[in-house]
Homo-oligomer: A and B are copies of this chain.
Amino acid sequence: MGGNTLGDRFIVTSFGESHGRCVGSILDGCPAGLPLNESDIQPDLDLRKPGQSSITTQRKEEDKVEILSGIFNGYTTNAPICMLIWNKDSDSRPYDKIKTIPRPGHSDYPAMVKYGGYADYRGSGRFSGRLTASYVMAGAIGKKLLKYVLGIETIAYTIQIGEISCGKISFEKAKENRYNNEVRCPDPDIAEKMKESIMDVRKSGNSLGGIVECVSIGLPVGLGEPVFSSLESDLSKALFSIPAVKAIEFGSGFEGTKKTGYENNDLFIKEEGKVITLTNNSGGILGGISNGMPLTIRIGFKPAASIAKIQRTLDFSSDSLIDLQVPGRHDPCVVPRAPPIIEGIVSIVLSDHAIKAGFIPNVLRGY
């Protein structure tokens, strides 16, 4: 299986480049009988697309999805679903420079070495954040499938931008408010401060990172396969494919490493005939397998690498240090655009596992 493909049964292959003709994905293995058309996918793409606000890149793209295959009479057929968005507003001129001056913090240098100069460097090519649109398309189908068959819901939202973070937020509040502001933080006051801090760094030609939290509810007990395909294993593999992600934790995560077992263990009780745990330090995963509690993940994004601020770095053509001001249009902080991507990626992995574990049949009948 190539690096551009994810999943065993719900299988996503990403294709396209930032400044090529299009960005797309093929989803193979979606069960037959799911009602589906472009309108199931477009809303998530709209939440991800650039140029929506003052705190994102000013590249303007309509990002209108087209489904090329795999749907018949309004239903999935189990055949591969090829989907894409066309690139329309790419401006490749600023990228000539990075052929010899790799941007600090960017893939330019290793990509140049690895691909012997053949890689498409325009707009970062295959390394562009724009590629995540392909995850969003397939993810939207996973999201619908999980909701349709199992009632699973996945939400992601910003909980930290730079030094500013918000407190604990309930699932319901987060679900309702996460897309009500430009930074995708469910707490409106904190969101305002986050936005200001992004506007500030933008002005100074700098950038910020942050943390997104993702919660899924409604998981059955039993998703995840021992040993190398644990739920944490497959979720982290998928999430680290999002550019700028450098850290991931489940449940109490790094904080939990400081607790004792007595504090961190979640005790079982029975409530309304259902086994639950009193706390959820496990983040809904025990032994790599879902335990029915909310799946809780936190994903750390480094600050965006492309900054206008002058950096003293190597010019490979002359082997001398120069002052680089990264050209092009860039996000001062990628975190606000990440929630729909993360919801999509997580939905892809959960769909894959739900099919593998036998919770979703090959043909959907009678839903």
Contact = CB atoms under 8 A, between A and B. Distances in A.
A277 B222 CA distance: 42
A79 interface: yes
B2 A11 contact: yes
B241 A233 contact: yes
Given A115-B77, A225-B2, A245 B261 contact: no
A235 to B, nearest CB: 8
Interface in A279-310: 281-283, 286-292, 300-307, 309
Interface string A156-175: 00001011000000000000
A229 interface: yes
Contact of A107 (B109, B228, B270, B287): B287
Interface stretch (A51-59, A142-150, A184-192, A207-215): A207-215
* Residue with the highest number of chain B CB atoms closer than 10 Å, among A13, A233, A257, A365: A257
A336 interface: no
A199 interface: no
Contacts of A17: 69-70, 72, 79
A225 to B, nearest CB: 3
* Residue with the highest number of chain B CB atoms closer than 10 Å, among A228, A234, A283, A357: A228
Contact of A110 (B69, B162, B248, B287): B287
A288 B131 CA distance: 14
A225 B249 CA distance: 23
B238 A233 contact: yes
* Residue with the highest number of chain B CB atoms closer than 10 Å, among A17, A116, A256, A266: A116
Q: State the copy count for this chain.
A: 4
Interface in A75-123: 75-82, 84, 102, 104-111, 113-116, 118-120, 122
Given A1-B11, A2-B29, A79-B15, A127 B228 contact: no
A127 to B, nearest CB: 4
Contacts of A291: 109-110
A266 B250 CA distance: 28
A253 interface: yes
Interface of A: 1-6, 8-9, 11-17, 20-22, 24, 26, 28-29, 32-33, 68-70, 72-73, 75-82, 84, 102, 104-111, 113-116, 118-120, 122, 124-127, 131, 160, 162-163, 201, 206-211, 221-222, 224-230, 232-234, 236-238, 240-241, 243, 245-254, 256-270, 275, 277, 281-283, 286-292, 300-307, 309, 311-314, 316, 319, 321, 357-358, 361-363, 365
18 contacts: A5-B5, A5-B13, A12-B228, A13-B26, A15-B26, A15-B81, A78-B115, A79-B126, A118-B363, A206-B261, A206-B262, A233-B236, A248-B249, A261-B303, A264-B303, A270-B314, A275-B316, A358-B363
